[in-house]
Amino acid sequence: MVDDTNVKLISEKDLDEFVNKLIDNKTYNVMGVKAKGERFVFDHLDNAKELRLDYDVTILPPKKYFLPPSEKLMDFNITKSFDIKKSKKSKKRIIIGIHPYDIIAIQQMDKYYLDSQKDDFYKKRRENTIIIGSDIQNVSKHSFAESMKTHTTYSGFDILLTNLGNKYAVTIGSKQGNDLLEKYGHFRDAKKSELKKIDKIRNQIASQYDKKVDIDKEEWSKYLVANYNNTLWEEKSDKCMSCSSCTMVCPTCYCYNILDDVSLNLKEGGRIRTWDGCLLKDFTKVGSGEIFRDDKKERYRHRFYRKGNYLPERYGFVACVGCGRCAIACLPNIADPCEVMNTLSSFDKSAETDKYFIKQQTKVPDKGTIHIPRSATIKNINKLTDRETLIEIKLDDNKSLGHSPGQFVEVSVLGIGEAPISISSPPKKDPTFQLVVRKVGNVTSKLVSLKPGDKIGIRGPFGNGFDIKKLENKNIIFVCAGLGVAPLRSLYLYVTDKKNRKKFKELKILYGCKEPCEAMFLDEFEELKKTSDYECKMTVDKCPKGECWEGEVGLITTLFPKIDYDNSKSKDTISVVCGPPIMYKFAIKSLKDMKIPDKNIYVSLERHMKCGVGKCGHCQINGVYVCKEGPVFRYDKVKKLPEALE
């Protein structure tokens, strides 16, 4: 029942006058729903006559005003050492005519972007926007909002308009909305008969929906978890064009990309955030070339699981409001969640809805505005191999990085971009730290060409590293292959330090790479033996003729039988593993053969960590954000995630 204390009545003529006053005031950018051919769009209003509150659905959702398709986050000047300026504040805005399902989608965005790690850019736009909603007058044939209980709403707006014929009911949802109406509107209080008519009209809206979902939205997660390997995903995705049109028009898809755009004079530029989509093949591609959701079926399935399982487990809402835009946009007609869930309704369901989600506390980095880096200076550069370079960096604010072993930072080279790189030095109180940089992309190629004294940007540290306390009084086996030695170096240098060594029992390091020329830190390992008792075994996949190599030849698994180890110590032994994706399966099998429990095995995983704070979506492994819950995971938790180690 409508609350009569917050409802006013306004005539159609007075509503037009109200809208025109808002437009003429120039305090706000006034947006509203306009006709575009036979479709409708949200756009700038020049006068009230352009406003179409009788629309069915717009081409794009009002999401575009809070998370624009393209927005500049900061300006920079690459001719100066480190010159960045955060983007200016946006002008205040009023959006008129937002349907209830889109209002609810905005409320979901609020939970996503205004959680413990707030997105400052989104926050300011949200605070600068007044929402004037509109109850639905005509239902799109593609919409199933009534099934999702999103066809009406009693919150999330400043003002809500309901068409009562030749007049509109005006439901006031906030002080800001009330002040706006008081200042620019001509209205009267609603009568009881008119309040009853509002309820009647909303009930009539529900009866207009022909499209229904057979499964209650609270049950979506159960059906999805039980049908991860259902043939439906293969059958549907076979027609998918991987265009991601469905995600672009969706009000509850929030994924984005970040890139640097340089002006034609090659002096200035800006860091730009753009919409991105999980259906695109390169969405999960990392610098070394691996694509972690390469199969089209996996990308297609991920979209539905994100909506119906992953976000519900994390935030408590189903990320679909039944607007039907994806069904309109999809040429092969396979994007409709209503159709997919109705198909799944004939299959089993599972009560284990958290199967693909890891609940893990993450420390929120307090390092300033999201996506804006701190200035840092390169102190030293040491070439390790043909591809790897050790870079020492000093933060210009002279504050300690404050990292834990296993965490990572986002490194900026203005004009080129940003890349996630694991920290390769142990925690310390001064403002310097080290990174091992492999030359594999534009950012890393530029990084290794820089010289001491050059400026770069740093964000972080990010993610969950190794829990040092849980490693104390334990035997530790380090298993690292290739570049995997870099993140583990931050840990083994910490535990072998003479100030910390007594806190840990036996230490063993197993290190492998392809050829002797790719081995890193060999002199460092030898030097450590002089100050810290530990066992170190090394191997290369092959040793070309004429090269000198004193270690083993073979895969890293050949090292396990060669270490001095007693299976009776397995419960007091922790193993940490990091390397190329193909290595994990075989290394973990060797550790299990040594009777080391799954809960005592820790893995550090690589993914496309673009934002570092669980917002952009690129690093997602099922329901887990690697940049947030990881990159360090306990094996017994991560092994249940199909996308983690397969």
pLDDT range class, residue 90, cuts 50, 70, 90:
confident
Instruction: Please say if the pLDDT value at position 146 is more than 70.
Output: yes
Question: In sequence order, what are the beta bridge partners of 434?
Answer: 392
- Asked whether the beta carbons of 148 and 185 are under 8 A apart, the reply is no
pLDDT range class, residue 606, cuts 50, 70, 90:
confident
What is the rounded CA–CA span in Å between residue 59 and residue 40? 6
Quickly tell me which residue has 């009002």 as its tokens: 62
**Phi and psi at residue 434, to the nearest 5°:** -125, 150
Q: What is the pLDDT of residue 205?
A: 93
pLDDT range class, residue 362, cuts 50, 70, 90:
low
Q: What is the pLDDT of residue 291?
A: 86
Q: What is the pLDDT of residue 167?
A: 94
What is the rounded CA–CA span in Å between residue 136 and residue 133? 9
Give percent of the chain above pLDDT 90. 85
Q: Output Rg (C-alpha) for the chain, integer angstroms.
A: 28
Render pLDDT for 499-513 as a digit per residue (tens, 0 to 9).
999 999 999 999 999
Q: For residue 194, what is the enclosing H or E element? A: helix 192-207
The two tokens of residue 595 are 């009777």
- Asked whether the beta carbons of 612 and 627 are under 8 A apart, the reply is yes
Alpha carbon distances (Å) from 276 to 287, 443, 576, 611: 17, 20, 34, 13
Q: What is the pLDDT of residue 467?
A: 92
What is the rounded CA–CA span in Å between residue 321 and residue 378? 48
pLDDT range class, residue 107, cuts 50, 70, 90:
very high
Q: Which of 233-242, 304-313, 366-375 has the lowest mean pLDDT?
A: 366-375
Q: Nearest CA to 305 among 257, 245, 354, 235?
A: 354
Please give the average per-residue pLDDT across 326-343, as a whole number.
97
Domains of the chain: 4-71+78-207 (no CATH), 217-344 (no CATH), 374-462 (2.40.30.10), 468-604 (3.40.50.80)
β-strands 475-481, 417-422: how paired? unpaired
CB within 8 A of 282, min separation 6: which ones? 291
- Asked whether the beta carbons of 296 and 240 are under 8 A apart, the reply is yes
Q: Nearest CA to 236 among 335, 306, 150, 383?
A: 335
Instruction: Please say if the pLDDT value at position 3 is more than 70.
Output: no
Average confidence score pLDDT of the chain: 93
The two tokens of residue 414 are 């203005």
pTM of the model: 0.94
Instruction: Please say if the pLDDT value at position 391 is more than 80.
Output: yes
Q: What is the pLDDT of residue 115?
A: 86
β-strands 83-86, 167-172: how paired? unpaired
Please give the average per-residue pLDDT across 247-259, as a whole number.
96
Q: What is the pLDDT of residue 272?
A: 96
Question: In sequence order, what are the beta bridge partners of 624?
Answer: 621
Please give the average per-residue pLDDT across 360-386, as a whole number.
83
What is the rounded CA–CA span in Å between residue 164 and residue 178? 20
Q: What is the pLDDT of residue 435?
A: 98
Contacts made by residues 169-172, CB under 8 angstroms, sequence distance 24+: 169/2, 169/7, 169/8, 169/9, 169/194, 169/195, 169/197, 169/198, 170/7, 170/8, 170/9, 170/10, 171/2, 171/6, 171/7, 171/198, 172/6, 172/7, 172/8
Please give the average per-residue pLDDT across 171-185, as a whole number.
95
What is the rounded CA–CA span in Å between residue 239 and residue 228? 19
Please give the average per-residue pLDDT across 466-493, as a whole number.
95
Render pLDDT for 393-444 as a digit per residue (tens, 0 to 9).
999 999 999 999 999 999 999 999 999 999 999 999 999 999 999 999 899 9
Q: What is the pLDDT of residue 4?
A: 62
Q: Which of 84-88, 305-309, 366-370 has the lowest mean pLDDT?
A: 366-370
pLDDT range class, residue 366, cuts 50, 70, 90:
low
What is the rounded CA–CA span in Å between residue 145 and residue 213? 9
